[in-house]
């Protein structure tokens, strides 16, 4: 009896040690997985905020070049000009979806505003104390997050200098509302918020965190906030976020904070951050850790339960071992008798076995068919859930705008020096650059237009030309060589905007596929194949690993680095081509690189071959 109790005690101690070690190991792995998920969520929210800023950043530089605005600043005492500009600003403000749009003279006094007719009009108010005006007065793009001194509402301000031929004569500013981006930050289970350089929470999906301080505000920051009237320091309490510990040998911080969407309950969160250097902000993500502890606990319980079960089975085995030995002889006798019976019925069993094999083969074939069908249904369901593509190409305007500014300044200098010929030459260059920007804007507007569900006849040449025009800036930066070969004049069944998206994705991926240091060489070849039109996009990159070729069109599958893509481009393109009644596949070239092949229905024949 004592021996049995001693054995049971030793087993219990071993199980407790194994359970404790197992819990610690499982908890560490689950925490590592949660950190990975948190970094993915952080990257997605970073791109959402970046896209939001890029959407509005181009507005004030475009407004600043409007001749009516320049004329109003040069003639501020002309009521007709000012009134007309007020109406124009009101229209621009409504179309762009901004909160306010207004024009200030060189001293910071507002002379025209989109809210000129409102009781809280900005007209006559001076904003020279705001950093965005000071930056614009220096000739730079101004940006600043603050509470409105008139409305008391939060907003992000962009301001651009308005120039006469000789100097900066004023500035135009837009105030971007924050309600939309804060709604986007609430998407998903994580809590997301943004702090400025002083540690003040300026944007948050959780209302409890807005305009609170994440730490002590320094004296210099308090002076700056007061001087710029950014916030009311008396209305900025400490953020309800307190350090709780650390994970993975102190690499990651955990905090206690109010659980969003609950009635004030506090919870422990994993705290991850990412700086936004251009704005001087920090993006924060809080991920609830309760599920990690619960899952690790249940996993440890399962492990211990399995070990207990195994120990019980082992004990039962030893207990019954002797009984089994006694019954072995009886089984041997029974086995001999059974073998005799099997020998007597060999013929019947052989026939039955053949029939069984045939039935098994038929069932396996049916199961394979069912499995393929289910796989196709799942793929269709996943692709049907995809959203609509959106993109911002505003940065493509920066280079021409910079060149226009340089040529304009040179032209002014030449005119002052009496070199009229050189000034005319510079102004001709400005004209060519503005024509290029207008053409790019035309392509961009057509591409951004909402596509129709109907399938029409589309010119393949026009679609590819517009795609290459939209990608021209990127192609030039990469010093890539893009060549077209094969047939011209072909028309296919589809929609021009959605088909243009397909080619933009394929050519963009081809540019990304070429390693740094190599010159990208991309060939677009058009031919006919079995009565349809075949378009092949080839690159000289490293190709696609054979192991991932079957998954290349799956949603959210990507071979790019984190932050460079969500893995939706090829999946959306595959769905678009399928909607047009075509097909799409990927393969590797024998000489290196990848080849993406799109097959579409031809709308009109014939076509002529173009020289390569």
pLDDT tens string 270-306: 889 999 998 899 999 988 888 776 665 666 577 667 7
Which of 228-237, 555-564, 588-597 shows the lowest per-residue confidence on average (mean pLDDT)? 555-564
How deeply is 98 buried, as exposed, middle or buried, from its count of CB atoms within 10 A (0-12, 13-18, 19+)? buried
Q: CB neighbours of 105 closer than 8 A, spacing ≥ 6? A: 73, 76, 111, 169, 170
Label residue 444 by pLDDT band (50, 70, 90): low
Residue pair 486/611 in contact (Cβ under 8 Å)? The answer is no
Label residue 375 by pLDDT band (50, 70, 90): very low
- Residue 399 has a pLDDT of 52
Label residue 178 by pLDDT band (50, 70, 90): very high
Which of 155-159, 240-244, 477-481, 547-551 shows the lowest per-residue confidence on average (mean pLDDT)? 240-244
- Residue 612 has a pLDDT of 35
Using DSSP's 3-state secondary structure scheme, residue 115 falls into coil
pLDDT above 70 (res 87): yes
Label residue 260 by pLDDT band (50, 70, 90): low
CA distance linking residue 45 with residue 287, whole number of Å: 13
- Residue 343 has a pLDDT of 76
Label residue 448 by pLDDT band (50, 70, 90): low
- Residue 283 has a pLDDT of 94
- Residue 110 has a pLDDT of 96
- Residue 601 has a pLDDT of 94
What is the gyration radius of the CA atoms in the chain, in angstroms? 35
Beta-carbon neighbour count of residue 266 at 10 Å?
Answer: 13
- Residue 75 has a pLDDT of 92
- Core vs surface per residue 348-364: b (16+ CB within 10 A) or e: eeeeeeeeeeeeeeeee
- Residue 171 has a pLDDT of 97
- Residue 336 has a pLDDT of 80
Higher pLDDT, 161 or 248: 161
Q: What percent of the chain has pLDDT over 90?
A: 37
Label residue 390 by pLDDT band (50, 70, 90): very low
- Residue 486 has a pLDDT of 93
- Residue 69 has a pLDDT of 92
Which of 155-164, 241-250, 422-431, 504-513 shows the lowest per-residue confidence on average (mean pLDDT)? 241-250
- Residue 274 has a pLDDT of 92
pLDDT above 90 (res 607): no
- The predicted model gives 414-431 an average pLDDT of 81
Label residue 228 by pLDDT band (50, 70, 90): very high
How deeply is 18 buried, as exposed, middle or buried, from its count of CB atoms within 10 A (0-12, 13-18, 19+)? middle
CA distance linking residue 23 with residue 303, whole number of Å: 9
Number of H helices, E strands in the chain: 15, 19
- Residue 8 has a pLDDT of 63
Geometric angle at alpha carbon 537, from 532 and 539, rounded to 5°: 160
Most confident of 35-39, 102-106, 564-568: 102-106
Q: HEC profile for 21-76?
A: HHHHHHHHHHHHHHHHHHHHHHHHHHHHHHHHHHHHHCHHHHHCCCHHHHHHHHCC
- Residue 398 has a pLDDT of 63
- Residue 61 has a pLDDT of 95
Phi/psi at 554 (5° precision): -75, 145
CA distance linking residue 99 with residue 63, whole number of Å: 15
* Tokens 């705001």 -> residue: 130
Phi/psi at 594 (5° precision): -115, 160
Q: What percent of the chain has pLDDT over 70?
A: 79
Higher pLDDT, 509 or 562: 509
- The predicted model gives 258-263 an average pLDDT of 64
Mode of pairing for the β-strands spanning 481-488 and 521-529: parallel
Q: What is the DSSP string of 147-184?
A: E-TTT--EEEEEEEEEE-SSSEEEEEEEEE-SHHHHHH
Most confident of 135-149, 317-331, 441-455, 509-523: 135-149
Higher pLDDT, 390 or 210: 210
- Residue 611 has a pLDDT of 33
Instruction: Give the predicted TM-score (pTM) of the model.
Output: 0.47
- Residue 387 has a pLDDT of 38
- The predicted model gives 245-254 an average pLDDT of 71
CA distance linking residue 103 with residue 168, whole number of Å: 13
pLDDT tens string 485-513: 999 999 999 988 889 889 989 998 889 88
- Residue 388 has a pLDDT of 32
- Residue 551 has a pLDDT of 84
pLDDT above 80 (res 99): yes
Q: What is the mean pLDDT of the chain?
A: 81
- The predicted model gives 253-268 an average pLDDT of 73
């Amino acid at each position: 009896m004592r021996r049995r109790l001693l054995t049971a005690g030793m087993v219990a101690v071993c199980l407790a040690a194994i359970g404790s070690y197992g819990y610690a190991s499982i908890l560490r792995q689950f925490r590592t997985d949660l950190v990975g998920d948190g970094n993915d969520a952080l990257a997605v929210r970073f791109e959402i905020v970046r896209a939001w800023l890029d959407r509005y950043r181009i507005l004030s530089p475009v407004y600043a070049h409007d001749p009516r605005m320049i004329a109003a600043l040069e003639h501020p005492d002309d009521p007709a000009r000012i009134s007309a500009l007020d109406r124009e600003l009101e229209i621009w403000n409504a179309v762009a979806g901004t909160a306010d749009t207004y024009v200030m003279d060189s001293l910071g006094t507002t002379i025209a505003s989109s809210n000129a007719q409102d009781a809280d009009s900005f007209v006559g108010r001076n904003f020279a104390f705001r950093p965005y005006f000071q930056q614009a007065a220096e000739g730079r793009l101004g940006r600043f997050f603050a509470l409105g001194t008139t409305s008391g509402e939060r907003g992000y301000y962009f301001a651009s200098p308005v120039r006469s031929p000789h100097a900066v004569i004023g500035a135009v500013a837009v105030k971007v509302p924050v309600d939309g981006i804060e709604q986007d930050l609430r998407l998903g289970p994580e809590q997301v918020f943004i702090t400025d350089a002083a540690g003040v929470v300026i944007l948050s999906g959780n209302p409890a965190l807005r305009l609170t301080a994440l730490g002590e505000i320094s004296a210099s920051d308090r002076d700056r906030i007061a001087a710029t009237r950014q916030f009311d320091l008396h209305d900025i309490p400490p953020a309800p976020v307190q350090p709780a510990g650390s994970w993975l040998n102190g690499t990651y911080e955990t905090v206690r904070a109010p659980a969003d969407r609950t009635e004030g309950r506090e919870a422990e969160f994993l705290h991850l951050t990412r700086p936004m250097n251009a704005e001087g902000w920090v993006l924060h993500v809080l991920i609830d850790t309760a599920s990690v502890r619960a899952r690790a606990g249940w996993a440890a319980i399962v492990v211990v339960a399995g070990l207990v079960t195994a120990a019980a089975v082992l004990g039962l085995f030893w207990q019954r071992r002797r009984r089994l030995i006694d019954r072995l002889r009886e089984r041997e006798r029974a086995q001999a008798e059974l073998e005799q019976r099997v020998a007597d019925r060999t013929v019947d069993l052989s026939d039955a076995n053949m029939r069984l094999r045939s039935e098994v083969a038929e069932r396996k074939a049916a199961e394979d068919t069912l499995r393929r069908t289910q796989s196709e249904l799942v793929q269709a369901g996943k692709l049907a859930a995809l959203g609509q593509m959106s993109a911002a190409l505003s940065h493509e305007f920066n280079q021409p705008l910079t060149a226009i500014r340089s040529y304009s300044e040179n032209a002014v200098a030449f005119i002052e020096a009496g070199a009229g010929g050189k000034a005319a030459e510079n102004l001709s260059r400005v004209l060519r650059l503005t024509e290029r920007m207008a053409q790019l804007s035309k392509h961009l507007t057509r591409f951004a237009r909402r596509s129709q569900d109907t399938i029409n006849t589309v010119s393949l040449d026009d679609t590819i030309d517009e795609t290459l025009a939209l990608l021209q800036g990127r192609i030039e930066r990469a010093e890539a060589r893009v060549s077209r070969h094969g047939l011209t004049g072909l028309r296919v069944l589809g929609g021009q905007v959605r088909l243009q998206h397909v080619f933009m994705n394929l050519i963009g991926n081809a540019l990304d596929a070429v390693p740094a240091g190599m010159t990208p060489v991309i060939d677009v070849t058009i031919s006919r194949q079995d009565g349809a039109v075949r378009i092949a996009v080839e690159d000289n990159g490293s190709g696609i690993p054979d192991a991932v070729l079957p998954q290349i069109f799956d949603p959210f599958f990507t071979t790019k680095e984190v932050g460079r893509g969500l893995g939706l481009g090829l999946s959306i393109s595959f769905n678009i081509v399928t909607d047009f009644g075509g097909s799409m596949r990927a393969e590797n070239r024998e000489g290196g690189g990848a080849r993406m092949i799109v097959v579409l229905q031809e709308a009109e024949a014939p076509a002529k071959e173009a020289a390569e």
